[in-house]
Amino acid sequence: MATLELNNLHAEVAEDGGETILRGVDLEVSSGEIHALMGPNGSGKSTTAKIIAGHPSYEVTDGEVLLHLDKDEFETDGVEIDDDLTWDLLDLEPNERAALGIFLAFQYPAEIEGVTMVNFLRTALNAKLEEREELFEDDEGEADAEEEDDAGYDTSPMEGDVDEGEVGVAEFQQLLQEKMELLDMDEKFAQRYLNAGFSGGEKKQNEVLQAAILEPSVAVLDEIDSGLDIDRLQDVANGINALREEVGTGVLQITHYQRILDYVEPDYVHIMLDGEIVKEGDADLAKQLEEKGYDWVREDVYETA
Ligand code: ADP
Ligand code: MG
């Protein structure tokens, strides 16, 4: 099991005289749990997500971002850890955080012409596995990495060397097919260029597919519900539920609206206001919020303060 823990997190924009955005955020997300982080625009939700991922635009001025890993966490990958470990994520680069099992789906995914989904996803998976080996300095792992290369496939030079990496082309095709079935996605998807000409819904589904392949311990999904019609919302929600059930991922679902929570029932709901979590509860809290709006939270918090 893994637990992501934010402790009294304070952060400002990383420039001289940068504005303070987070004012003491406490949050714990463990494998297999679904948390909703809600709040009005500008409350600091995306900043929280970006700091977890290691975005350089923000400076942490106080507090901690920790990742606790039980020693059985990586057993299936052949990585053996002798004791439970705690990593200080703020000391690690974004790719190292990803290798430890943190996944961030961006609010605005990038479009890249010339790189197919399948190649992008395989490259991402191999980069993660390679980085993980380095982090754990696992001697056996290195030997494995050399063995697995598949015979050459012709692809465009834009797509890099397909023979490189731990998971070869054939093996990856199979993995991809399994994951696409799990998420109920159209196979043709994988041959398209990354997000190029994708609808809003397809981009978001794509983020879920990426997560399903990388099998993160904790996935932070920033407004993955924004701009989706009801059918796509359901597809994306089914994907998130599958991620929790089949992969055991802990999900931090960032959202402005209650709508997606009808399909992805959260175990915990946290409401953020002006850079702090000011209210916490279960799924009922989100329903209350839907009825009464964020002004109710604001009044409630500032009246009792
Ligand atoms: P949310 O995702 O909850 O809508 P954000 O975390 O994006 O909120 O932003 C919180 C506040 O911090 C907003 O007032 C926003 O303008 C400000 N902010 C975020 N990032 C930056 C930045 N890079 N430079 C300046 N201000 C920023
Ligand atoms: Mg945001």
Q: What is the pLDDT of residues 122-139, one digit of tens each?
A: 999 999 999 988 888 744
Mean pLDDT of 273-295: 96
Contacts of 266-270 with C-beta under 8 Å, sequence gap 24+, read: 266/34, 266/35, 266/36, 267/33, 267/34, 267/35, 268/33, 268/34, 268/35, 268/36, 269/35, 269/36, 269/38, 270/27, 270/35, 270/36, 270/37, 270/38
Query: pLDDT tens digits for 192-213?
Result: 888 778 888 888 888 999 999 9
Mean pLDDT of 38-57: 96
| Six token digits for residue 299 | 């009044």
- Are the beta carbons of 12 and 230 closer than 8 angstroms? no
Tokens 């465009």: give the residue.
156
Is the backbone of residue 175 left (phi > 0), alpha (psi -120 to 50) or beta?
alpha
Please tell me the predicted confidence (pLDDT) of residue 59: 96
Query: pLDDT tens digits for 52-97?
Result: 999 999 999 999 999 999 887 776 666 677 788 899 999 999 999 9
Mean pLDDT of 169-180: 94
Please tell me the predicted confidence (pLDDT) of residue 139: 46
Which residue CA neighbors atom 24 of ligand 1 most closely? 13
Query: Count of CB atoms within 10 A of residue 62's CB?
Result: 12
Using the predicted structure, report yes or no on whether residue 181 has a pLDDT greater than 50.
Answer: yes
Instruction: Write the DSSP assignment of 257-301 as a string of letters.
Output: SSGGGGTS--SEEEEEETTEEEEEESHHHHHHHHHHHHHHHHHHH
Please tell me the predicted confidence (pLDDT) of residue 145: 44
CA distances to 117, 122, 150, 189, 283 from 165, rounded to whole Å, are 17, 9, 9, 23, 42
- Are the beta carbons of 76 and 61 closer than 8 angstroms? no
Site to substitute for ligand 1 among 41, 45, 47, most atoms within 8 A of C-beta: 47
Please tell me the predicted confidence (pLDDT) of residue 160: 47
Residue numbers of the domain that contains 142: 2-304
Helix, strand, coil share (%) of the chain residues, nearest 5: 45, 25, 35
Please tell me the predicted confidence (pLDDT) of residue 264: 96
| Six token digits for residue 174 | 């199979």
How far does Cα 269 stand from its chain's mean position?
17
Which residue CA neighbors atom 12 of ligand 1 most closely? 21
Mean pLDDT of 15-42: 96
42 vs 39: CA distance, rounded Å: 8
192 vs 194: CA distance, rounded Å: 6
pTM of the model: 0.89
Does residue 41 line the site of ligand 1, with CB under 6 A? yes
Mean pLDDT of 27-47: 97
Q: What is the mean pLDDT of the chain?
A: 87
- Are the beta carbons of 125 and 213 closer than 8 angstroms? yes
Percent of the chain with pLDDT over 70: 89
Mean pLDDT of 30-51: 97
Least confident of 84-93, 104-113, 155-164: 155-164
Instruction: List, in order, residues 6 or more apart from 233 with CB less than 8 Å away.
Output: 201, 225, 259, 260, 263
Please count the structural domains in the chain: 1
Mean pLDDT of 46-56: 95
Query: pLDDT tens digits for 230-277?
Result: 999 999 999 999 999 999 999 999 999 999 999 999 999 999 999 999
Mean pLDDT of 173-200: 87
Tokens 């504005």: give the residue.
19
> For residue 138, what is the domain's CATH number?
3.40.50.300
pLDDT band at 146 (very low <50, low <70, confident <90, very high): very low
- Are the beta carbons of 114 and 227 closer than 8 angstroms? no
Q: Which ligand is nearest to the CA of 226?
A: 2
pLDDT band at 148 (very low <50, low <70, confident <90, very high): very low
Site to substitute for ligand 1 among 9, 12, 21, most atoms within 8 A of C-beta: 21
Does residue 50 line the site of ligand 1, with CB under 6 A? no
